[in-house]
Amino acid sequence: MEFGSTEGTPRGLFTCELCELTTPFTYYGQKPPNTRAIVLLEECYVMKDPFCPEKEKFLVLGSTCSLCHKTVCVGADCSLFYTKRFCLRCVREHLDQFPPPIQAELMKKKPTGKTPGLASS
């Protein structure tokens, strides 16, 4: 019990289906533990922020794409949040529905060389 509270017991491994980033997560949902005031607007894979000494600080690792339901990390090369989570593949497919700033952003980014390559391997 003590163990869990200090070290954070992993509930499983989170793996991004696009970039394969893998890391253990300690909570899945919208209400990270020990954070009274915080509500997430989507169901997320969460861990204690490993780069922060306070134990109630959390880090969102990723969530599920609202369209294709792939598990994706929050990295800018894999997904974006715009009222909902979209993996970048789905964003590209439906780019026309996104507002211009996002369109411009993705144009600049171009099809990133790394991400799809890693995903297919």
Partner 1 sequence: MMESDRRRDSRTWDWDSSQCRAQLDEVFFRPHDYIQTGSLEHKEFWSFFDRFQRFKGKRDMSLSKGSDEVKDGNQESKSRKKASVDLGLPKDYDARYRINVSVCTRDVEERLGVSERRRQTSSGPGKEEVATCRLTLLHFLDFCQRQSFCKLAKLRREQKSLPIFQYRDRIVELVRTHPVVVVAGDTGCGKSTQVPQYLLSSGFSHIACTQPRRIACISLAKRVSFESLNQYGSKVGYQIRFETTRTPATKLLFLTEGLLLRQIQQDAELGQYQVLIVDEVHERHLHCDFLLGVLRSLLRLRQDLRLVLMSATINIKLFSAYFDEAPVLQVPGRLFPIQVIYQPIPPEEQPSRSEKLDPRPYLRVLQGIDQRYPIEERGDLLLFLSGVAEISTIQDACQTYATHTRRWIILPLHSTLSLAQQDKVFDIAPPGVRKCIISTNIAETSVTIDGVRFVVDSGKVKEMSFDPKAKMQRLQEFWISRASSEQRKGRAGRTGPGVCYRLYAESDYEAFAPYPVPEIHRVALDSLVLQMKSMGLGDPRSFVFIDPPPAASIQTALTYLKEQGALDGHAELTSIGRLLSQLPVDVVIGKMLVLGSVFSLVEPVLTVAAALSVQSPYLRSAQHNPDCATARQPLYSNQGDPFTLLNTFNTWVQVKAERGGGSRKWCRRRGIEEQRLYEMVNLRRQFKELLKSHGLLAAEQGATCWRDRQQRRQRLGERKKLHQLKRDHDLQEGNRRKVLRLEEGEEGVGSSGSEGEEEGRERRGKDGAGQSVDIQEVKFKLRHNVTELQEAAGASRDLSSRQQALLKLVLCRGLYPQLALPDEHNATRKDSEQIFHTRNKQGVVIHPTSVFASDPEVLHVPEQEPRETGPEKGESSRHQLLAFVTLLETNKPYVTNCARVPALQALLLVASSVDTNADCTRVVVDGWLELTLSDAEAALRSISSALTLRDDWERLLQAQLRNSATGPAAPAVSHKDLGKLSEGLVRFLLYTEAASTLLNKVSYGLRRLGGLESQNLYVGPQQVPGLPDAPALNPLFPGIKAEPHPVKGGLRVTGFFTYNCLSDSKDMYSECLRTFWSCPHCDLYMPLTPLERMHHEATCRPAGELQPKEEPEDGKAASSSSSSSSLTRVYHCDVCDKDLTLTSTEILKHKRQHL
Provide long-range contacts, Cβ within 8 A and 24+ apart, for 77-85.
77/18, 77/19, 77/109, 77/112, 77/114, 77/115, 78/16, 78/18, 78/19, 78/115, 79/18, 81/41, 81/42, 83/41, 84/42, 85/42
27, 46 contact by CB (below 8 A)? yes
Interface characters, 57-96, with partner 1 (x: CB under 8 A): --xxx-x---x-----xxx----xxxxxxx------xx-x
Number of residues that bind partner 1 (CB under 8 A): 52
**In angstroms, what is the minimal distance from the CB of 117 to partner 1?**
13
Q: Does 18 bind partner 1 (CB under 8 A)?
A: no
Q: Does 55 bind partner 1 (CB under 8 A)?
A: yes
**In angstroms, what is the minimal distance from the CB of 38 to partner 1?**
5
Q: Does 21 bind partner 1 (CB under 8 A)?
A: yes
